[in-house]
Amino acid sequence: MEDEHTNPGEDETNDNNKNDASDEMEASCTIFPSFHRHVSHIITKEEVNALLEKKYKFKWEVPVEDIPKSKWVGTGEEIKGTHVDIISGVKGKLRDHWQNTLSDQLNSRLNYRDIMHCNKKPFYLKGGSAADCSTMDSYLMHALNHIHKTRDIVVKNDAKLRSDPSKDILDDNSFLDQGFTRPKVLFLLPLKSIARRLVKRLIQLSPLSQKDNVMGIFNGKFGESDDEVEEPVQSNKPADFDLLFAGDTGDEFLFGLKYTKKSIKLFSNFYLSDIIVASPLALIKKINGVEDMGKEPAKERDFDFLSSIEIVVVDHADVILMQSWSHLYAVFEQLNQLPSKEHGTNVMRIRPWYLDQHACYYRQTILLSSYLTPEMNALFNGLCLNYEGKVKLVTEYKGVLSKIQFEAPQVYERFDASSITEADDARFDHFCQKVYPKIQESDEDDVTARYITCKTLIRGAHHLVIYSLPGRKEFYPELVNMLGESENRKCTVFFSRLDLLKNVKWGCETTKRDVGQQCGNGYGCKMWGMPPWLDLEPGWRR
């Protein structure tokens, strides 16, 4: 069994390469100056207080060249330009390998501020495969650069100390190069099939001499899958459903990846790993020390391997939202906590901002989704506090009413809600008083399910009641079109004045004003008072 106390520098010794610590890894691990600037900065008490107040403003904007009608808005230092050569600062074998491997359309700034991109076209939507792969390439390369640079510094410092054992590291801040534990990158994903794609691409991007059999070992432990099929078997469900659930749909996985000088080891001990790949469900079970989410957390829990995470990537956050957002939020609450044990770390080489419990202000979060929700906003604004600032994508986009295939009355019923915290109860009360009594009168059986996981075609329905507008805009016309075979069809949607914060910001000041007015119960489908993606006119999505 691997020794939990092994650090990255000791891997070189284990490979019998004590005297060439600056050989292959040094040549392949140079990152942009932003790495040194980010980890060398010592955050002040005033900066911490300002971050905790959360009174930041998105004060600048930059257009995005490769996404129509889109712009980046952000806090902190303004981004200069919209495209950069993301491998211009990479040397040696890593650069050569990436030049032959990466796609051309990569738009990443490789800085360390928090990023929220909630208009990503996912692989399961038409034309989204290339864009999704390009986005994955960007964040994987950023993570690899970070891991290799961190490792490179540790290896060099180990070599210096071996050459001069009498050197006093307390007098030299350059030896402050470690966190409490080794793992530095956390990938949070919803499905096993997506995790498989990530690992396969990660291996392809790694210029290691001993990696040929790695994917075979991974398949043996992770499970075989048929998700390599580009065209899934056609069914009566929408194409996006077939593509998303074509592979392994398991939502419970957690494993580590460890980089050595010549190879990558999968399913490594968490405390020896550089990368953790997990689903929120599996990780929160590990954090709580339970195998069943219905049980109380164990008294003795072991999740110190999350104490030194410096980059978190949440990909396909919209799919995670359909599973259980509370698991993801709970994971973020446990990141960068003080560890309960030393885990063999040389405390004299721990960076000062770890000891000051400021690691959460250095952690970068990259949140990727195909649409925005209040839950994502709450996570990004409340638990992502990077001292360098935040950047998020704002996109103007088309509505979906034109995709409804027939005429059907669509009535938007307003209910009163005085605050966001009371909105859910108010919506439920409105449902119980206005709709449920009529459902009780029906003799039909009832069943509940998440629409994304079943997409059952319902025939013969006369009245569709949408309890709350779906986050994914494509779902709305799909649901309404189910009424196509019915006579006297009708669609009713519940909303409140607070739903302007649901999914998106509203299109313009007129929309905000009208939705806040006290007026009658009914709204016609082409009147203001709907999220902009429902309206035929586009609106800025924030």
Residue 234 predicted with pLDDT over 90: no
Q: Where are the domains of the chain?
A: 24-396, 401-541
The predicted pLDDT at position 508 comes to 35
The predicted pLDDT at position 350 comes to 94
The predicted pLDDT at position 98 comes to 60
Backbone CA torsion sign across 515, 519, 521, 524: negative
198 to each of 35, 169, 189, how far by Cα in Å?
Answer: 23, 39, 9
**Of 69-83, 223-237, 337-351, which range is least confident?**
223-237
Nearest to 438 by CA among 405, 463, 418, 415: 463
Residue 192 predicted with pLDDT over 90: yes
The predicted pLDDT at position 495 comes to 83
Q: Please, what is the average pLDDT of the chain?
A: 77
The values of phi and psi at residue 71, to 5°, are -155, 150
Q: Are strands 311-314 and 364-368 parallel, antiparallel or unpaired?
A: parallel
pLDDT tens-digit map of 128-141: 778 788 889 889 98
pLDDT confidence tier of residue 100, bands split at 50, 70 and 90: low
pLDDT tens-digit map of 196-218: 999 999 998 887 776 767 888 88
The alpha carbon of 63 is separated from its chain's Cα centroid by a whole number of angstroms, namely 22
Q: What is the mean pLDDT of residues 483-496?
A: 80
Paired tokens of 408: 């059907």
Instruction: Please report, rounded to a whole number, the percentage of residues in the chain having pLDDT higher than 90.
Output: 31
Residue 288 predicted with pLDDT over 50: yes
Concatenated DSSP letters of 159-218:
HHHHH-TT--GGG-GGG--B-SSS--EEEE-S-HHHHHHHHHHHHHT---SB-TTHHHHH
pLDDT confidence tier of residue 96, bands split at 50, 70 and 90: low
Q: What is the mean pLDDT of residues 2-27?
A: 49
The predicted pLDDT at position 121 comes to 81
Residue 485 predicted with pLDDT over 60: yes
pLDDT tens-digit map of 324-333: 899 999 999 9
Q: What is the dihedral of CA 503, 122, 238, 459, to 10 degrees?
A: -10
**Of 11-15, 35-39, 111-115, 258-262, which range is least confident?**
11-15
Concatenated DSSP letters of 71-103:
EEEESSSPP--S---TTTT--HHHHHHHHHHS-
- Could you tell me which residue, 313 or 535, shows the higher pLDDT? 313
Distance (Å, whole) CA 479 – CA 473: 11
- Could you tell me which residue, 24 or 415, shows the higher pLDDT? 415
Distance (Å, whole) CA 69 – CA 149: 36
Paired tokens of 489: 């069809």
Q: What share of the chain is helix, strand, coil (3-state, %, to 5)?
A: 40, 15, 50
The predicted pLDDT at position 225 comes to 63
Nearest to 72 by CA among 105, 128, 106, 115: 115
Q: What is the largest CA-CA distance in the chain?
A: 88
The predicted pLDDT at position 291 comes to 83
Collect all residues with Cβ–Cβ distance below 8 Å to 19 and sequence separation of at least 6: none
pLDDT confidence tier of residue 7, bands split at 50, 70 and 90: low
Q: Does the structural domain 24-396 have CATH classification 3.90.440.10?
A: no
pLDDT confidence tier of residue 93, bands split at 50, 70 and 90: low
Q: In the block, which residue shows the tokens 């004045």? A: 497
Strand partners, 495: 414
Strand partners, 541: 395
pLDDT confidence tier of residue 247, bands split at 50, 70 and 90: confident
Instruction: Please report, rounded to a whole number, the percentage of residues in the chain having pLDDT higher than 70.
Output: 73
The predicted pLDDT at position 334 comes to 96
Q: Where are the alpha helices (DSSP H) in 384-496?
A: 420-434, 436-440, 451-454, 475-481
Q: Are strands 410-414 and 390-397 parallel, antiparallel or unpaired?
A: unpaired
Q: What is the mean pLDDT of residues 62-69?
A: 81
- Could you tell me which residue, 111 or 426, shows the higher pLDDT? 426
Nearest to 8 by CA among 171, 147, 216, 187: 147
Task: Count how many Cα atoms sit within 13 Å of the Cα of residue 172 in the half-sphere of its side chain.
Answer: 10
Residue 528 predicted with pLDDT over 50: no
Q: What is the mean pLDDT of residues 528-537?
A: 43
Q: What is the pTM of this model?
A: 0.81
Residue 30 predicted with pLDDT over 70: no
Distance (Å, whole) CA 462 – CA 488: 6
Q: Which range is most confident: 73-87, 107-121, 138-152?
A: 138-152
The predicted pLDDT at position 538 comes to 37
Strand partners, 313: 187, 366
Residue 296 predicted with pLDDT over 90: no
- For residues 345 and 11, the answer to whether their CB atoms sit within 8 Å is no
- For residues 339 and 307, the answer to whether their CB atoms sit within 8 Å is yes
Residue 163 predicted with pLDDT over 70: yes
The predicted pLDDT at position 9 comes to 64
- Could you tell me which residue, 358 or 262, shows the higher pLDDT? 358
User: Over the range 167-203, which residues count as b (16 or more CB within 10 Å of their CB) and which as e?
Assistant: eebeeeeebbbbbbbbbbbbbbbbbbbbbbbbbebbb
Q: In the block, which residue shows the tokens 């709350």? A: 468
pLDDT confidence tier of residue 220, bands split at 50, 70 and 90: confident
Distance (Å, whole) CA 320 – CA 278: 12
The predicted pLDDT at position 385 comes to 96
